[in-house]
Amino acid sequence: MSEATLAAPWWKRGVIYQIYPRSFADSNGDGIGDLAGIAARLDHVASLGVDAIWLSPIFPSPMADFGYDVADYTGVEPMFGDLAAFDRLLAAVHARGLRLLLDFVPNHSSTEHPWFVESRSSRDNPKRDWYIWRDPAPGGGLPNNWISDMGGPAWELDPVTGQYYLHTFLKEQADLNWRNPAVAQAMTDVMRFWLDRGVDGFRIDVLWHIVKAEGLPDNPANPDWREGLAEKLRVLQHHSTDQPEAHAFTRQFRQLADSYGDTALVGEIFLPRDRLMRWYGTEAEPGVHLPFNFELIENPWDRDTLAALIAGYDAAIPDHGWPNWVIGSHDAARIAARIGERQARVAAMLLLTLRGTPTLYQGDEIGIGTVDIPPHRIRDPQDLRQPGMGLGRDRSRTPMAWDASSNAGFSTVEPWLPLHPDWRTRNVAAQEEDPASMLRLYRRLLAARRASPALSLGRMTLREAAPDILAYERQHGDERLLVVLNLGSEPREVTLPGATRPGRIIVATGTRDMFDGTIDADEAYVVELLA
C-alpha cells in the first residue's frame, strides 16, 4: 500500500464487508449462524482484501425483526454466543488487521426491553417518557395518520394504561423518545460501552427516523400513491422523519466516536440526495463519516442513468465529505438477481473503482442470485404482513455457501432459510479453484484498489463514450487509470482520452491481457493510461 494511501483515514481508503450473522456460518448445529462461526471463517474475509466488517445486530432480542428489536443494548443474543465470544471474535478480527463495526439501533427497542416494560407499567412511571405515548384522538382512535414501515398504523393501544405508543416498524419495536435527555444519555452510554470494548465504529440503523416533529402532526397524503405500492407510501413522511433536531444528536455521536481515535460512523439514511447531504454536517460540526448512498440499488441499471447519478452525487458531496457506494445489503434483492451474473461482474468493477468507500454484502463475492423462498419457509415479517408486494427480505439473507458438503458447509443441519439452488457449484471452495470465478474477480479488484492510490483516493472524471459504455478516469499524482464498463449486450469501441495510449490492464472481467480499444458485451476493464 502506498504512503499516500496509508496516510488517509481507513474509512476513506478502505472497503467495508457486511456480515449478516444468522446466515454466515453456524458453529453449533442449530441452523443459525453465530459469532464462533464468523470467527472460524475470518480468513475468507481477510483474504478478500477488505478493511472492516460490519455486523448486523447481535444483541439479545425476541427476534420479531431478527435482531432489530433489541432487548438489551449491551449484551449478546444467546443464539449468537455471549460477551466472551464477542471479545474473542473482536480480538481475531483485529489480529488480522481488520476493524469491526456494530449495528447501533437507536430509533426503537424491543417491547421486551426493560425500559419499555417499565414505561408501559403505568402513566406515572419514571420511564414513561422514554417512549412516545399519546392519548387516543378526540372521540377515540389513533393519535395521528402515521403508517408503520411494515404496514398498518404506526400506533398500538396499550389497554392497561389507555394510551397508544408509537412504533415506526413492528408493534414489537417501540420508538424511543429522543426529545427526552435521559434517552439520549442512555443511548450515548451504549455507544461508549462498545467503544470501550474495542469496536471501531457503528453502522447506525434508520438514523433519519430518530426524532419526530413536535406535536406529532399528521403526515400529508401522497398524491402519487396507488394500489400495488407499499402501504407506508400512502403518506409523505414529512413529520415522522428527517427532523432538524436529529442532526444535533448525530454531531454528538461523531464527537464521541472521534474521541476514540480512528473510528467510523455509517448512517442508514434513505433520503433524496439534497437532504442526504445534510447528514455530513459541516466542517466545523461534522455528522456521520459516511451517510449511506443507496443510489446504485434504487435506480435502473443502464449507462445513462448511472452516468447521471454518479456525476450528480459526486458533485453534491460537500468539500469536507467523502462519497460511499453500495450495491447490496440485507434489505435489498441480490445484485446478481437484479441484473444477472454477467452484469453483476460489471457491477463489482463499478463498485470497487468509483471514488468513495464501497460496502460489500456477504455472498455477492460468489454471485448468489435469485433464491425462491417457498411460502412455508418465509420468515420476514415485512413479507408476511404485506404478501405479494415483493417486499420480502429473506431472499437476500439466505445462508453463505462454503463448499459442496451437506448444507453447503454452513451448518450440520438444515439452515434457517433455504440455500441458493446452485450452491453445490456456487460456493467459496469451488470458486477458490476457478481463476475465472466471481470470487477471484473480487480478490483481484480489491488487491488492485489496495495497491493503487488512484483507485482508493484519486479524483474521478467521467468520459464521453459509445452507447452502453460507462467510462471514467481515476487519477492520483502521475497515476492515471481508465475504467471502462460495457452495460450492454453488444461489443463497442472505446476512445481513449486525448494524448494517451493504453498501458497494461490492471484488472478485467475478461481474459485479455492487452487493451485494443474494443470491449465485449458485459465486460469491464481498468486500464493504465500512458502519456
Strands 163-166 and 155-158: antiparallel
- CA angle 401/406/412 to nearest 5° reads 90
Helices and strands per DSSP (H, E), number in the chain: 17, 20
The length of the chain is 531
Query: Residue 265 and residue 250: Cα distance in Å, rounded?
Result: 10
Query: Residue 185 is which amino acid?
Result: Q
Give me the catalytic one of 268, 364, 365, 394: 268
Give yes or no for a contact between 13 and 457, defined as CB atoms under 8 angstroms apart: yes
Give yes or no for a contact between 349 and 485, defined as CB atoms under 8 angstroms apart: yes
Give the phi and the psi of residue 77 in degrees, each rounded to 5.
-60, 125
Contacts of 412-416 with C-beta under 8 Å, sequence gap 24+, read: 412/26, 412/29, 413/26, 413/29, 413/30, 413/31, 414/31, 415/23, 415/26, 415/31, 415/32, 416/22, 416/23, 416/31, 416/32, 416/379
Give me the catalytic one of 51, 149, 205, 365: 205
Active site residue 422: no
Q: Would you give the DSSP letter of residue 163?
A: E
Q: If we measure between CA atoms, which residue out of 262, 268, 270, 265 comes closest to residue 287?
A: 265
Query: Residue 232 and residue 146: Cα distance in Å, rounded?
Result: 8
- Please measure the distance between the N-terminal and C-terminal CA atoms of the chain and give it in whole angstroms: 24
Output the CA–CA distances (angstroms, integers) from residue 87 to 16, 24, 311, 472, in the order listed: 20, 18, 42, 43
Give yes or no for a contact between 424 and 40, defined as CB atoms under 8 angstroms apart: no
Distance of CA 248 to the CA centre of its chain: 23
Q: If we measure between CA atoms, which residue out of 9, 14, 5 comes closest to residue 50?
A: 14
Contacts of 450-453 with C-beta under 8 Å, sequence gap 24+, read: 450/1, 450/5, 450/49, 451/1, 451/2, 452/2, 452/476, 452/479, 452/481, 452/506, 453/2, 453/4, 453/5, 453/477, 453/479
Retrieve residue 345's grid coordinates: 461482474
CB-based contacts of 326: which residues, under 8 Å, 6+ apart? 292, 293, 294, 296, 297, 351, 358, 359, 361
60 burial (CB, 10 Å; 0-12 / 13-18 / 19+) is buried
Output the CA–CA distances (angstroms, integers) from residue 117 to 37, 104, 111, in the order listed: 33, 21, 7
Give yes or no for a contact between 463 and 474, defined as CB atoms under 8 angstroms apart: no
Active site residue 298: no
Query: Residue 52 and residue 290: Cα distance in Å, rounded?
Result: 14
Give yes or no for a contact between 323 and 355, defined as CB atoms under 8 angstroms apart: yes
Strands annotated E in 333-441: 357-361
Q: Which residues are catalytic?
A: 205, 268
